[in-house]
């Protein structure tokens, strides 16, 4: 299960993201970037954050620790900005927090301090194609450079089909957005990444990851439908893998 911490101090809004995440201090003395349930994307964005983030962790990819953050209804009382106060009030209760990485730098393609490992880049392209994350372009890569490696943040745009119910019949198709992935120019073989990673994503792993999501956030899409959809997405032939590999070679 994910750890649950309680927010004791609202530090500042992070205005880089459209969802206005918050930096908060918690009762374990940690700092967390909190994705708020009351933001415009709603709880489905938090579902995507947990599912994609914890799948990445299970595959050995670098993701900050994810926790559930309990926001007290009175936390926004001292906030002078009415927009932020309203957002915090709508988000009272559980939200998702990512461990804050101090002094991390935004990833900028071509400006990273060290070369990008092509195997890691290929694994990340594969993951983002698998979970259909539309938000990894050079304009908005949502990647950090910290301690000489890339770290994944912000998976809220993944699993976008969940908003339409996640029909498994649509699971195996193409994912054209992968052609714009910020790491594709640095990636090694996506076919080899598929051979490495796909066998690790079992129904048991998917059920474990979905069990980490508070059930109320799933709404009218039951956890087993996520499992069915993501399992079906791994059924051969995987058009999205072929598309990513063809784009890499182009």
The dihedral sign for the CA sequence 167, 168, 169, 170:
positive
Could you report how far apart the first and last alpha carbons of the chain are, in Å? 42
Identify the pLDDT of residue 74.
85
The answer to whether residues 60 and 205 touch, using CB atoms and an 8 Å cutoff, is no
Nearest to 137 by CA among 174, 173, 107, 105: 107
Residues of the chain with pLDDT under 70: 15-19, 113
pLDDT tens column, 83-108: 888 888 899 999 999 999 999 999 98
Task: Give the CA-trace dihedral at 110, 14, 21, 138, to 10 degrees.
Answer: -20
């Amino acid at each position: 299960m994910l750890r649950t911490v309680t927010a004791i101090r609202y530090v500042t809004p992070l205005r880089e993201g459209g969802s206005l995440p918050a930096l908060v201090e918690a009762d374990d003395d940690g700092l967390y970037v909190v994705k708020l349930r009351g933001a415009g994307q709603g709880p489905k964005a938090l579902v995507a954050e947990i599912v994609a983030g914890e799948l990445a962790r299970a595959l050995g990819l670098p993701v900050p620790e994810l926790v559930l953050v309990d926001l007290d209804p009175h936390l926004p009382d001292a906030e002078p900005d009415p927009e932020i106060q309203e957002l915090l009030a709508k988000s009272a209760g559980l939200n998702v927090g990512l461990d804050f990485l101090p002094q991390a730098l935004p990833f900028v393609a071509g400006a990273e301090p060290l070369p990008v490992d092509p195997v890691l880049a290929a694994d990340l392209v594969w993951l983002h194609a698998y979970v259909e994350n539309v938000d990894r372009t050079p304009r908005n890569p949502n990647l950090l450079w910290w301690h000489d490696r890339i770290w994944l943040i912000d998976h809220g745009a993944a699993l976008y089909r969940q908003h339409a119910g996640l029909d498994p019949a649509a699971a195996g198709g193409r994912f054209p957005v992968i052609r714009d992935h910020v790491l594709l120019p640095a990636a090694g073989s996506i076919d080899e990444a598929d051979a490495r990673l796909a066998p690790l994503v079992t129904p048991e792993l998917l059920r474990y990851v979905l069990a980490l999501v508070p059930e109320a956030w799933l709404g009218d899409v039951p956890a087993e439908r996520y499992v069915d959809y993501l399992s079906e997405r791994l059924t051969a032939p995987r058009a999205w893998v072929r598309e990513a590999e063809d784009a890499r070679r182009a």
